[in-house]
Amino acid sequence: MPATRQRAVRRSHWDQPDGEGVRTGRTSQSHRGQRNLSSILLNMGMVLGILSILWFCWATYMRWWLAAQVVTPHSSPAILPDGATRASVSPLRFWGTYRPQVYFGMKTRSPKSLVTGLMWMEQGQSVPGSLRHACDQGDDLERYGWLAHDGVNFGQQEILERDFSLSTDYVKRPGGEHGGDWSWRIAVKQKRNGKPRLVSLLLYIATDGDGYLEPSVQHDRLFHVDGRTDELGSFRLMFGEPMTSGTDRRTPVEVQFESGSVDHRPGPLAGEAFEQELSQHRAAFNRRFNGVFGLQNKNYTTQEVEVAQAAFSNMLGGVGYFYGSSLVESPFANNPVAYWPAALFTAVPSRSFFPRGFLWDEGFHQLLLGRWDLGLSQEVMAHWLDLLNAEGWIPREQILGGEARSRVPAEFIVQRNDNANPPTFFWTLRTLFPGLGGSLPSADTAFLQRAFPRLRSWFEWYNRTQSGPLPNSYRWRGRDADTSLFLNPKTLTSGLDDYPRASHPSGEERHVDLLCWMAQAAGVMADIARSIGEPHEGEYSRLHSVLSDEENLVRLHWAEDLQAFCDWGNHSDAVMLVRERVPVPPGAPPQTRVVRVVRRPSAPQFVSAFGYVSLFPMLLRLLSPKSPRLGATLSALHDENKLWTPFGLRSLARSHPLYLKRNTEHDPPYWRGYLWININYLAAGALHHYSNLDGPYQIQAQTLYQQLRRNLVKNILREYRKTGYIWENYSDSSGAGRGSHPFTGWSSLLVLLMAEQY
Rule CB under 6 A: is residue 674 a binding residue for ligand NAG?
Answer: yes
| DSSP of 310-361 | HHHHHHHTT-EEEEE--EEE-TTSSS-EEPPPEEEEE--SBTTTB-SEEHHH
Give, in order, the Cα–Cα distances in Å from 132 to each of 194, 201, 583: 19, 10, 48
Rule CB under 6 A: is residue 729 a binding residue for ligand NAG?
Answer: yes
| Least distance CB 463 / ligand NAG (angstroms) | 4
How distant is the alpha carbon of residue 503 from its chain centre?
A: 27
Q: Annotated catalytic, 497?
A: yes
| DSSP of 646-662 | TTEEBSB-TTSTTTT--
| Least distance CB 615 / ligand NAG (angstroms) | 20
| Interface map 531-560 toward ligand NAG (x if CB under 6 A) | --------xx--x-----------------
Instruction: Report the residue from 116, 313, 602, 663 that binds ligand NAG according to the rule CB under 6 A.
Output: 602
Please give the size of the binding site for ligand NAG, defined by CB under 6 A.
22
| Least distance CB 710 / ligand NAG (angstroms) | 11
**Angle at 309 (CA atoms; ends 308, 311), nearest 5 degrees:** 65
Task: Name which of 377 and 729 has its Cβ closer to ligand NAG.
Answer: 729
In whole angstroms, what is the distance from residue 77 CA to residue 535 CA?
19
**Range in contact with ligand NAG (rule: CB under 6 A) among 208-216, 262-270, 362-370, 736-744:** 736-744
In whole angstroms, what is the distance from residue 672 CA to residue 659 CA?
5
Task: Name which of 226 and 418 has its Cβ closer to ligand NAG.
Answer: 418
Instruction: Report the residue from 668, 689, 703, 757 that binds ligand NAG according to the rule CB under 6 A.
Output: 668
Cβ(557)–Cβ(548) under 8 Å?
no
From the list 181, 329, 362, 728, the catalytic residue is 728
In whole angstroms, what is the distance from residue 598 CA to residue 503 CA?
9
Instruction: Report the residue from 4, 234, 506, 541 that binds ligand NAG according to the rule CB under 6 A.
Output: 506
From the list 403, 497, 508, 534, the catalytic residue is 497
| Least distance CB 102 / ligand NAG (angstroms) | 20
CA atoms within 13 A on the CB side of 321: 22
What are residue 730's DSSP bridge partners? 675, 737
| DSSP of 699-740 | HHHHHHHHHHHHHHHHHHHHHHHHHSS--SEE-TTT--EESS
| Least distance CB 9 / ligand NAG (angstroms) | 18
| Least distance CB 371 / ligand NAG (angstroms) | 20
Rule CB under 6 A: is residue 604 a binding residue for ligand NAG?
Answer: yes
Nearby residues of 104 by Cβ (< 8 Å), 6 or more positions away: 97, 117, 118, 157, 168, 184, 186
Task: Name which of 105 and 349 has its Cβ closer to ligand NAG.
Answer: 349
* Chain residues 411-470 in contact with ligand NAG, contact rule CB under 6 A: 460, 463, 467
**How many beta carbons lie within 10 A of that of residue 192, not counting itself?**
6
Task: Name which of 221 and 298 has its Cβ closer to ligand NAG.
Answer: 298
What are residue 397's DSSP bridge partners? 358
Rule CB under 6 A: is residue 224 a binding residue for ligand NAG?
Answer: no
Coil vs helix vs strand at 16: helix
Instruction: Report the residue from 693, 739, 756, 757 that binds ligand NAG according to the rule CB under 6 A.
Output: 739
Instruction: Report the residue from 298, 407, 555, 600 that binds ligand NAG according to the rule CB under 6 A.
Output: 298
Task: Name which of 545 and 563 has its Cβ closer to ligand NAG.
Answer: 545
CA atoms within 13 A on the CB side of 555: 11
In whole angstroms, what is the distance from residue 657 CA to residue 500 CA?
10
Rule CB under 6 A: is residue 680 a binding residue for ligand NAG?
Answer: no
Rule CB under 6 A: is residue 719 a binding residue for ligand NAG?
Answer: no
Q: Which residue is nearest to ligand NAG (CB)?
A: 739
385 — phi, psi (to 5°)? -70, -25
| Least distance CB 536 / ligand NAG (angstroms) | 7
Rule CB under 6 A: is residue 714 a binding residue for ligand NAG?
Answer: no
| Least distance CB 588 / ligand NAG (angstroms) | 32
Q: Annotated catalytic, 667?
A: no
Q: Which residues are catalytic?
A: 497, 728
Interacting residue ranges for ligand NAG, rule: CB under 6 A? 298-299, 460, 463, 467, 504, 506, 508, 539-540, 543, 570, 602, 604, 668, 670, 674, 728-729, 738-740
